[in-house]
Amino acid sequence: MIDQFFYTEKGNFMQTLHPAASLTYIAVLLVLVLAFSHPLYLIGLMLSVVLAIWAAEGLKAWEGYMKLALGMAVLIMIINPLASSTGNTVLWLTPDLPGLGVLAITVESIFYGALMGLRLLIIVSIFCLYNQIIHPDRLLNLWPRFFRKSALVVSLATRLFPVMTASLHRIKEVQQLRGVDFQAGTLRQRWGKYLYMFNILLISSLEDSLEMAEAMQARAFGSGPRLRYRRDYFRPRDMLCLISCLLAAGIALYALFDGLGTYSFYSGWGDMPGGSSNLPIMAAILGGLSLPALLSWGAQHCHYLESRI
Amino acid sequence: MVKGFFTVRSWFFIIGSAGLLAFAAWLADVMVQPNWGMLSLAIITAILLFLYLSFEEGRVSAREIAVIAVLGALAAAGRVPLAAVPSVQPTTFLVIISGYIFGARAGFMVGSTAALASNLFLGQGPWTIWQMFAWGLAGFSAGLFRYILPNGGWRSMAAFQFGWGYIFGWIMNLWTWLAFIAPLTWQSLLATCAASFWFDSLHAAGNLIIYLLIGRGVAKALERAKRKLEFSYLQVENIAE
Amino acid sequence: MPLFRVENLSYFYPDSKKPALQGINLEIGEGEFLLVTGGSGSGKSSLARAVAGLIPDFYGGKIGGRLYFKEQDIRFIDRRSLAQNIGIVFQDPEKQLVMTGVETEIAFGMENIALSQPEMLRRSAEVMSFFDLTDLKQEFTANLSGGQKQKVALASILAMQPSVLILDEPTSQLDPLAAEEILNLVKRLNEEMNITIILIEQRLERCFHLADRVAVMENGRIIKCATPEETAVWEVKNGYPFLPPVAAFFSHIEAQDIPLTIKTGRKLLHNIYRESNPYQVPAPASEQSDLNAKPRKADNKGDHSIRDCTRRKTDFTLFTIKEKYQLLFSKCRSRAGKISPETPVAQINKLWYTYPNGKEALRDIDFSITAGEFVAILGDNGSGKTTLLKQLAGLIGPGRGQITIMNNAIGNTPPQQLARLVGYLSQNPNDYLFHDTVEEELKFTQANLGQIDNGHIERLLRRLNLYPLSQVNPRDLSSGERQRVALGSVLAASPRLLLLDEPTRGLDQRMKADLNNLLQDLLQTGVAIILVTHDIEFANQGARRLVMLFDGRIACDGPRNEVLGSSMFYVPQIRRMFKGIDDEIFTLREAVARVRPLWAARLIAK
C-alpha cells in the first residue's frame, strides 16, 4: 500500500520557495546539463545540484536515486565505446563480429561514454532535487490556466491512487479468504487470479466514478468560466533565486554561443576549447545556480537574513 | 477530436510551441554537434502540450472527467506490485483498452495521467515525461486503431497489445539513445534496443496474456460505463469521438 | 412564502420502469430542519437529488410535476446560481473529494463559481476555522479519516455559502463519534446560521430530535410528514420501524407527549416508576437498581453468568408480560442451553502483534469462542479490532502468542485449509462481486476450496432470499442484496467461524433485522460469529457476549448485560435511558414489556 507522496514536507528553506521559482531553477538546471558537454561544466553542475539537494535535506533520497541510475549509466558507458570506433587512441580491436565488423575501442569513446554517464547521473539528481522541493499539490496549482480540466483529472487521479492501491490490498485479502491461493497453479492461473482482482476494482471504481462526477456537478463544476484559488507566497527569496537562475542561464547561453562549455570529443585528445577563459564564466554560472542553497544555509544560520528574505 | 481547434487560444498555443521548437533547434545548431537530447525533449513536450490542449478545447462533462481519472488512477495502481502476488503490470493493457473504448483523446489522458500520477508516489525522474508520452500515445493510438479498423476483432487487438510492449520500450530507449549515445547510427540504436530486448519482450507478452485473460471482461465493463455516460439527456459530446 | 414548493413531482431513472418518485407534494420553509427517512430504495435519495436540481439535470430520465425554489421553477434556474444556493453533501466521503489538498478541496466549489481571489481567501479562512480544519489545510485528502473527509466535503459546500443544505445520509459511513460531530455541526448551521436543512437519514438516534418535521417515504411517496412526535406515534401505529429507540419506546407505550431525548425520557420514566404501585414492580429490578453492577461481576464468571442471566430473564418474563415476548425468551433459553462447553472454535493465547511500521496493535490478547456463540467486539478506531479480525482470519501471522482455529494453529495451517474454517465478510460487499451471476459468485468460493456442492448453494440462495435473483448480475442489485450475495459467497464454504466487519454500514432498519435473523439461524447450526462494529444497537440485538478493545488490549469481556451494565458510553440508547431506573432493561422489547403495564396502571390510577 502506498499512501504517501514521494515528496515529504520538511519545512526547510528550499521547500518554502514559490513553485514558479523552484520550477525555473529545475528547468534551467535541466537545459544546462543537456546543453553542456564540457566535463568541467558537467562536474560543476553536479556539485551545485548536490549542494542544493543537501540544502533540501535530501541526501539520503539521493543515494537511492543514484543506485537506481547507476545501472543505466553503466549501460551508456558500455554502449558508447561499442557504437563509436572513431578517435585516435585505439586501445583494443575486437575480432570480426558477425554483422558489426571489427570494432575499435578508443580512449575518446570511453571518455565520452563516461561523461554521458555522468550527464545521466546529473539529470537524475536534478529530478531527485525536484522531488525534494516541489509539493505535488503546489505544482498542480500552478498548472497554467489553459489546462484546468487536465489539472483536475491529474488531481483526482492522484487522490485516487492511494485509494486504489489500498483497495487492491483489501480485495486480495477477501480473495484469499475465499480460497484463492495466489502462489498455486500455473503461471497463467496465477496471473488470472491477480487480474480477477484488478477486474473487481475496475468495476467498482467505474461505479463510483458516477458519484464523484455528481459531487463535482453539485459544486457547480462546468457551470461556466472558472478561477483558480492561489495561495502561494512570493517572497524576496523567490525573486533572488529567480534572478540568479536566469542570470546563470543568460551567461551560459552566451558561453555556448561563444563555443565554450562544449567539448568535441573525437577531434583530438585534451583539446579544451576556450582554455582558461572557461574559469570565470563557469564560476559565474555555478555561483548563480548555487545561490538557493547558499541562501538556505544563510537563513539557517542567521535569523536576521531569514526574516529579511 | 479536431473540433474546436481554431480558437484564438489554440493559435496562440501553436505559435508558442513552434517558437519553443525553433528555440531548441537554434540551440542545437549553436553547438558543434546537433543536441538531439534537448531537441527531442522539446518536441515531446510540444506534442504533449498539444494533446492536452485538444482535451481542454473539447467539451468534457464531469462524468467523463471522473471516468478518465478513475481509469488513470487504476492504470497507475497497476504499476505497483502487490506483496505475495505475482507481479503483473496491467498498466499498458488498461490504457490501450480505455483508448479503444472511449476514444483517442480519453485514451491519451488516461495514459499520460497514469504516468504522472504514479510518479508522484514512486518518484519523478527524466522518465516521467517519456512515460507520459509513451502511455499517452498508446491510448491515443488505440482510439485511432478502432477508427481505422472498426471490426478488427480480438486477433488484431491482441497483436496491437503485443506490439505496444515493444513500442513502449523503444520510445523509452529513444531518449537514452538521443541524449547519451554518439554517434547516432543504426548500430548504436540497435545496441540500445538490444539492451532492453528481454524487458520489452516480457512487457509485450504480458500485455498479450492480460488481454487474453481479462480483455473481454474489462471491455464489457468499460462499454457499460460508456453507456452510462450517455444516459443523461443533457449529455455533452461523447468523448469517444 | 415557502422556500421550496414541490407539486406532484414524479420521476423515472433512464433505465427504469419503476418510478423513483411519485406524486410528491411538499413545502419546505426557510430555516426549517426537515428530516427525511425511510427504507432503502424508498426514494429518499432521489428526493434529495431532485431538490438539489441534480435530477433530472445530471441523470436524465423522465420527470413530471413542478419543483419551485423561491417561487421559481428549479429547471429554469441556471446551474451556477443553483449550486450557489443549494448545497448537497453525499453519503460516502470517499467519493466526494476531488483535489489532493484540503485547502484546494475547500476552494474547489468557489473556483467553479469564479469568486474573486480575496473573497475565496476570506471564505476559506472562515469555513476552515468554523470546521476546525486549519491544522489540516496542507494535508493530503486521501490520508484523512472518514470523519475528516466528510467535514472537508461539508466545508467545501459551505464555502459557497448556500442557503439550503441537503445531506444524503452523511453519517452512514462514519463511526459514531465522527457522526456525532457532523450532526452537531449541522445543528449549529441550522440554529446559528439559519441555513435550511434537509437531512436524509436512517440512523436516527442522533438526529430525530433535531428536526422540525420528519417525512417518511416509501415506494417513492411521502407517506407521512409531521412533527417528530406526531410521526413517531403514527409510525408505531402503522408498524414502520424508522424511529430512534427512545421515541419508539414511548410511542409503543402510548405516552401522550413523546419525549425525544434521553434526558426528557428519563424525567417521564422517573415519574412512571415513582407513581406506579411498588407491589407491581418485580423484585429483581428493585434489588438490582440499588446494586452497582461491578461487584456482581466478580462473583459470576463465564458460562455460569450467561446461564444465570438467561434464567433471571426467563423468570422475569414469567412474572410479567405478553405471550409473544414469552415466546421470544423461551427461544433464547433453548439456544442458551445449546451452548456446549466443548473445544472452542477459535482460541487466542497471549497474542501480541506489532505492525512493520512499529505500531503495537495488539497486546496480550486472551480470547476464545465456542460453537454457537455470538461475540461482538466494540472499541474505537485504532483500538485493534480490525487487526484482531485479520489475525483470526490468518491474513497476518501472529507476532507473539498463538491462535488456533479448530485445533489448527494459524501460521502452520495452509491458507486454503483455513479458508474452509473461517469466513470473513469485509466492509465493502463490492469487493466480492465479479462474476456474471449470483449463483456463479457463490460457487466460486466452493470451487476454490475443492468442496462438492450437495445442494448447499441452492439452500443458501433460498435462505438469503436470493433464489429468484440467482441468474442476475450481482452488479445490478441493490446494496442490501449485494451484501447478501457477499455473505452468501462467504457462507458457501460452510465456515465454522464467521467474522463480520461492520456489516450494518448503510443498511436500513429492516435489513438489519433480516441480517440479525439470519445470523441467529446460523448460530443454531453451530457456527461461531465474531462481529466487529460501531453499531451498538445492532450488537445489542444479536450478540450474547461483548468484548471491548482499548488500545490493543481487551478492556472487558463478558455477557452482554454485564458489559453494558457497567459501561457508560458503549451503551444502547434504551439502556442509557433506563440506567439507574431499571437496570434489568437493555432492549426496546424488554423496556416495552416492563413499562407498558406500569403506564396502563398509572392511567387507571389517574
**pLDDT tens-digit map of C70-104:** 999 888 899 899 999 999 999 998 899 999 989 99
A123 and A268 in a common domain: yes
- Say if CB A205 and CB B70 are below 8 A apart: yes
C527-550 average pLDDT score:
90
Nearest CA in chain A to B33: A264
Angstrom distance (rounded) from CA B39 to CA A34 = 10
Angstrom distance (rounded) from CA B137 to CA B131 = 9
- Say if CB C153 and CB C97 are below 8 A apart: yes
Q: How confident is the model at residue A117 (pLDDT cuts 50, 70, 90)?
A: very high
- Say if CB C296 and CB C309 are below 8 A apart: no
Residue C359 reports pLDDT greater than 90: no
- Look at residue A223 and tell me if it is in a domain: no
Give pLDDT, residue B117. 93
- Say if CB B180 and CB A115 are below 8 A apart: no
CATH architecture of the domain B60-229 equals Orthogonal Bundle (1.10)
Residue A234 reports pLDDT greater than 90: no
**Which residues of chain A does B82 touch, with a Cβ-Cβ cutoff of 8 Å?**
168-169, 172, 194
A292 and A207 in a common domain: no
**pLDDT tens digits for C223-259?**
999 999 999 999 988 989 899 989 999 988 888 888 8
- Say if CB C375 and CB C306 are below 8 A apart: no
Domains in chain B: boundaries: 1-58, 60-229
- Say if CB B135 and CB B112 are below 8 A apart: yes
Neighbouring CB atoms inside 10 A of C452's CB total: 7
Give the residues across from C11 on adjacent strands.
C21, C63
Angstrom distance (rounded) from CA B93 to CA B99 = 10
Angstrom distance (rounded) from CA A114 to CA A121 = 11
Give the residues across from A178 on adjacent strands.
none
A153 and A133 in a common domain: no
Which chains form contacts with chain C, at 3 or more CB pairs under 8 Å?
A, B
A293 and A261 in a common domain: yes
- Look at residue A25 and tell me if it is in a domain: yes
Residue A145 reports pLDDT greater than 80: no
Neighbouring CB atoms inside 10 A of B224's CB total: 14
Give pLDDT, residue A272. 55
- Look at residue A8 and tell me if it is in a domain: no
Contact C57 B231 (CB under 8 A): no
A114 and A86 in a common domain: yes
Strand runs (DSSP E) across C374-504, as ranges? 374-378, 400-405, 408-409, 422-425, 497-501
Contact A209 B176 (CB under 8 A): no
Give pLDDT, residue B5. 42
List the single range of A84-98, A150-164, A227-241, C164-178 with lowest mean pLDDT.
A84-98
**Contact map slice: A 205-234 vs C, CB within 8 A:** 207-208, 211-231
- From the list A69, C100, A71, the residue with the least C-alpha distance to B125 is A69
ipTM associated with this complex: 0.87
Contact C445 A231 (CB under 8 A): no
Residue C334 reports pLDDT greater than 70: no
C493-497 average pLDDT score:
90
Residue with more model confidence, A135 or B3: A135
User: What are the φ and ψ backbone dihedral angles of C70, each rounded to 5 degrees?
Assistant: 50, 45
Contact C103 A9 (CB under 8 A): no
- Look at residue A20 and tell me if it is in a domain: yes
Cell of B41: 525533449
Give the residues across from C177 on adjacent strands.
none
Reduced to 3 states (helix: H, G, I; strand: E, B; else coil), residue C166 is strand
Give pLDDT, residue B1. 37
> Nearest C-alpha of chain B: how many angstroms from A302?
33
Q: How far is CA B120 from CA A2, A26, A209, C55, in A?
A: 11, 16, 22, 37
Taking the alpha carbons at both ends of chain A, their separation in whole angstroms is: 40
A180 and A289 in a common domain: no
Residue with more model confidence, B228 or A32: A32
Angstrom distance (rounded) from CA C533 to CA C548 = 11
- Angle C528-C534-C538 from CA coordinates, rounded to 5°: 60
- Say if CB C231 and CB C214 are below 8 A apart: yes
Cα C183 vs. chain centroid, distance in angstroms? 15
Domain end point (choices A153, A186, A218) = A218
Cell of C460: 443458501
- What rounded mean pLDDT belongs to chain C? 84
A128 and A276 in a common domain: yes
What's the farthest any 2 CA atoms get from each other in chain B?
61
Give pLDDT, residue C56. 80
**Contact map slice: B 84-113 vs A, CB within 8 A:** 84-86, 88, 90, 94, 109, 113
Neighbouring CB atoms inside 10 A of C352's CB total: 15
Give pLDDT, residue C272. 85
B5-14, C365-374, C380-389, C397-406 — most confident range: C365-374
Describe the strand order of the beta sheet including C400-405 as a list of residue ranges.
C360-369, C346-354, C400-405, C408-409
A269 and A204 in a common domain: no
**DSSP annotation of C60:** -
- Say if CB B38 and CB B24 are below 8 A apart: yes
Q: Where in the sequence is the domain holding A191, given as residue range(s)?
A: 145-218
Q: How confident is the model at residue C218 (pLDDT cuts 50, 70, 90)?
A: very high
- Look at residue A122 and tell me if it is in a domain: yes
Q: How far is CA C455 from CA C373, C460, C490, C523, in A?
A: 26, 9, 16, 20
Give the residues across from B131 on adjacent strands.
none
A245 and A295 in a common domain: yes
A241 and A209 in a common domain: no
- From the list C319, C246, C315, C227, the residue with the least C-alpha distance to C280 is C319
A191 and A131 in a common domain: no
- Structural domains for chain C: 4-243 (3.40.50.300), 262-338+591-605 (no CATH), 372-397+408-571 (3.40.50.300)
Which of C111, C148, C490 is best to mutate for the A interface (most A CBs within 10 A)? C111
Give the DSSP letter string of B32-47: SS--HHHHHHHHHHHH
Angstrom distance (rounded) from CA A143 to CA A151 = 7
Block mean pLDDT (10 aa), chain B, length 241: 47 70 66 69 86 84 93 93 73 96 94 94 89 95 90 89 94 87 80 88 92 91 86 41 26
Give pLDDT, residue B6. 46
* Domains identified in chain A, total number: 2
A131 and A81 in a common domain: yes
